[in-house]
Amino acid sequence: MRRLLSLFAVAGVALLVATTSAAEPRDSVGRMFPVYDNGGKPDLTVDPQRFTGQMSIVDRVFSADSCELAEGTVGGTGVRRILRFDVVLINGGQTITIGSPTDPANAGIFEFAACHNHYHIKNFADYRLLKMDGSLAVAGHKQAFCFISSFKYTNDSNGQDKPAFTCDYQGIQSGWGDWYYKQLSGQWIDITGVPEGDYIVRVTINAVGMFDEGANRYTNTIETTIHVPDPRNKVPTG
C-alpha cells in the first residue's frame, strides 16, 4: 500500500497526518486531535491511521441465507473476496445526541435491519473502490452505523470522562471516536473478480448530509491506494 497524506484543517491550523500500511496505535492521532467550537454542532471525520493500518484482503464464504447477501454487502454466495478496514468516526465538534431509534422523532434517521434484529442509521457511509483515474471499479454500498462513544481522542475531558451513549440511546461525545472494526458485518467492499492492479479505496461519511456539521472543517471523505492481487492468487481466509 502506498503512502497517503491526509490533510486536516481546524480553526485555521492545518494538521498533516502521514499514514502508512503498517498498523499504528490510535494514540498517534489521539494525542494531537483538536476539538473546536462549531456552534454546538458536531464535525465528524475518519481516523486515517485506523483506516489504512487495519486494511486487509481476505476470502470468506457466504451462504444463501446470510444477512450480508440480504443486505447487499456482498454480491453473491460462496467464496467472496472482501477488502475490509476499520472506520473510526472522530467528533471534532460538539457532542451529537440522536437518542433512541424507537423515538418517532427519529423515524427519518433509523431503519430496522430485520436480519440482524437491530436498528441502523440510514445510509451513513459510502464505500467505493475506484480505478486510478477516479472512475468506479466496484459499486460501493451505503453502510449504516450505530453511534456510540468508543474511546477518547483528546486530552481535554470536556467534562466527559466516560462513554455516555449506547445503541439504545445514540450519540458521539465531543472529542471521542466511534469504532467500527473490520470484522463487523458489511465493514468491507466486495472485490470478488476485480482484476489485479492499483486502486483507490474511498470512504465518505455523512454521505447524504443527514447531520448538520456546521463549519465542517474536517473532511468527510478519506481515501488511500491499495494493490489488489490477481483473483486467482490465494489470500488469507477470515
User: Span 100-106, mean pLDDT?
Assistant: 95
- Asked whether the predicted pLDDT for residue 156 surpasses 70, the reply is no
Higher-confidence position of 226 and 162: 226
Report which DSSP code applies to 2: -
Report which DSSP code applies to 166: B
Q: Establish how many alpha carbons lie within 13 A of residue 110's alpha carbon, considering only the half-sphere containing its beta carbon.
A: 24
The residue among 107, 236, 95, 120 whose CA lies nearest residue 180 is: 120
Q: How many residues does the chain have?
A: 238
* pLDDT number for residue 227: 97
Gyration radius of the chain over CA positions: 18
CA dist., res. 142 & res. 118, Å (int): 17
Coil, strand or helix at 147:
coil
Q: Is the dihedral of CA 130, 69, 107, 118 positive or negative?
A: negative
Cell numbers given for 155: 486530552
pTM: 0.84
Chain segment 159-213, per-residue pLDDT in tens: 566 778 999 999 999 999 999 999 999 999 999 999 999 999 999 999 899 999 9
* pLDDT number for residue 238: 83
Label residues 89-123 b or e (16+ Cβ within 10 Å = b).
bbbbbbbbebeebeeeeeeebbeebeeeeebbbeb
Say how far residue 26 (Cα) sits from the centre of its chain: 14
CA dist., res. 92 & res. 217, Å (int): 9
Q: Chain-wide mean pLDDT for the chain?
A: 85
| Domain residue extents for the chain | 4-228
Q: Which residue bears the cell 468491507? A: 188
Chain segment 48-97, per-residue pLDDT in tens: 999 999 999 999 999 999 999 988 899 999 999 999 999 999 999 999 99
Note whether 106 and 80 are within 8 A (CB): no
CA dist., res. 140 & res. 125, Å (int): 10
* pLDDT number for residue 5: 32
The residue among 63, 59, 45, 50 whose CA lies nearest residue 19 is: 50
- Asked whether the predicted pLDDT for residue 10 surpasses 80, the reply is no
